Structures are given as structure tokens and as C-alpha cells.
Amino acid sequence: MALFVYNASAQWKVGVQTGYTHNSLSTESGYAYDRHYDALGGFTVGVPVQYEFANWFALQADLSYTQKNYALYRSGTYADVRSETRNGFMQLPVYTHFSFGGEKLRGFINAGAYMGYWIASRTEGAQYEYFYWMIDPNAQASFHFDEKVPFDNRRDNRFDGGLMTGLGIQYQLTPYIQLVVEGRYYRGLSDLQKDYMLKQIHRYNDTFSLQIGCMFTLGN
């Protein structure tokens, strides 16, 4: 009898979701004591797929495009140096979904892991013009740039992976439509760089996201 109820409640759901990301680079300045990193905003958009075993437990995976951006600036002599780097990842988190509460309005907790692939990078900012004084000794100038960053297979680790957790609420609008609001945290465990040099400074992404979505129940 318990097996019959378990199978009867199992169902597939698919949806769409989008939201805001807030990413920071977890790293050290190393020898460049005047180098500083700031968090930067971005966006995420994806398609979640869920298999619900019971009204309180499900397995879920999302295929998404997620930005993990950060800013760099320097102080002191090189205060004109700054940049904003925007990185795009195709990402696939896989996780457990536990929900609790009433029939229509429920809270939930997500926990699992993710993997992804770094597909795009672009940087914009200003670089100190070291030899500009040779043209105009009295001028203060910096070189502005806005360009695509080419990947270097010897240096860049384009595989991305780590842990994720989420907390949110879901509202059953109709028997087949569910609205979702969720806050997530992604802890990157893979270095953005390969181990290609001595005394290398490691760099990892720390990403928070706030997203909204809609889930559609398939079948009866």
C-alpha cells in the first residue's frame, strides 16, 4: 500500500527561472599589496527539471547560463588602474529538494553540487599608461579598454565545480503551476587557473543569487 502511494505521488515538473547574481573572487593579493577585488553583479537564466517523489522530497537539476563577475582596482601610485571582468558559465547544479509547510504556500531547502563550463569572458576598465610621459611629461593619462578575453589552455581552467545550497518559498498557483522565489549560494571548489606556475595564487568564485521562477507539472 505504501509503495502504491509513493508511485502515485511521483511526478515530473519543468520550468523557467531568472535572477540576479552577486559574485566575489576568493583570492589573495600576493605580492601586489595595492591590488584589491570587489564583488560585482550579474544575471542568471535557466531551465529547472524536477522529479518529485513526495510532496516534501524531490530531486532537481537546472541547466543555466550564469554570470560570475568581479572587479579589480589598485590603490596608491596605480590608483587609475581598474577593471570589471564579466564571466559567463554554462552550469548544471544537481541537488535534493526538501519542502515543508501548507498545501499552497511552502518553504524549501535545496542542497547539492554543481558543475559548469566557462564559456565567455570580457573585461572593461583602465590601465596606467606607463610611458605616456615620453609624449607629454605634464599629462596624467590612462589607457581605456573594453575587449573579449581570449582563453589560454595552458593557464585557464574552464571546468567549474563546487557545492550549492538554497532557501526559498513556493506557491501553488494552480494544480499545474507553481511560483518559486529562492536565494542560493554557490561555493566554487575549482581554481580558475591551472597549476602552471610556482607560488601560484589560487582564485575561486563565491556566488550568491536571488531568483524567481515558475514550475509546470507534467501529466496528471
Q: How does pLDDT run across 107-124, given as a tens digit for each residue? A: 999 999 999 999 999 999
**pTM (2 decimals)?**
0.86
Rounded to an integer, the average pLDDT of 148-155 is 93
Q: What is the CATH number of the domain that holds 166?
A: 2.40.160.20
Residue 87 covered by a domain = yes
pLDDT of residue 80: 75
Rounded-to-integer distance, Cα 87 and Cα 69, Å: 6
Please name the residue that has the C-alpha cell 589560487: 202
Examine the pLDDT at 131 and tell me if it is beyond 90. no
Neighbours of 194 (CB within 10 A): 15
Residue 51 covered by a domain = yes
pLDDT of residue 135: 58
Residue 4 covered by a domain = no
Rounded to an integer, the average pLDDT of 139-156 is 83
Residue ranges with strand state E in 129-158: 142-148
pLDDT of residue 199: 74
pLDDT of residue 96: 98
Q: Distances from the Cα of 110 to the Cαs of 11, 61, 185, 198, 215, in angstroms?
A: 18, 11, 10, 39, 15
Residue 81 covered by a domain = yes
Q: How many domains does the chain have?
A: 1
Please name the residue that has the C-alpha cell 595564487: 201
Examine the pLDDT at 138 and tell me if it is beyond 80. no
Residue ranges making up the domain that contains 67: 9-26+39-217
Rounded-to-integer distance, Cα 108 and Cα 96, Å: 10
Summarize pLDDT for 59-110 with one digit per residue, the tens: 999 999 999 999 998 887 777 788 999 999 999 999 999 999 999 999 999 9
pLDDT of residue 27: 84
pLDDT of residue 195: 83
Residue 32 covered by a domain = no
Rounded-to-integer distance, Cα 185 and Cα 167, Å: 9
Residue 123 covered by a domain = yes
Residue 34 covered by a domain = no
Q: Please, which pLDDT band fits residue 4 given cuts at 50, 70 and 90? A: very low
pLDDT of residue 7: 44
Burial 138-166 (b: 16+ CB within 10 A, else e): eeeebeeeeeeeeeeeeebeeebebebeb
Task: Give 120: exposed, middle or buried? Use CB within 10 Å, 0-12, 13-18, 19+.
Answer: middle
Residue 3 covered by a domain = no
CB 92 within 8 A of CB 62: yes
Using DSSP's 3-state secondary structure scheme, residue 158 falls into coil
pLDDT of residue 186: 98
Examine the pLDDT at 5 and tell me if it is beyond 50. no
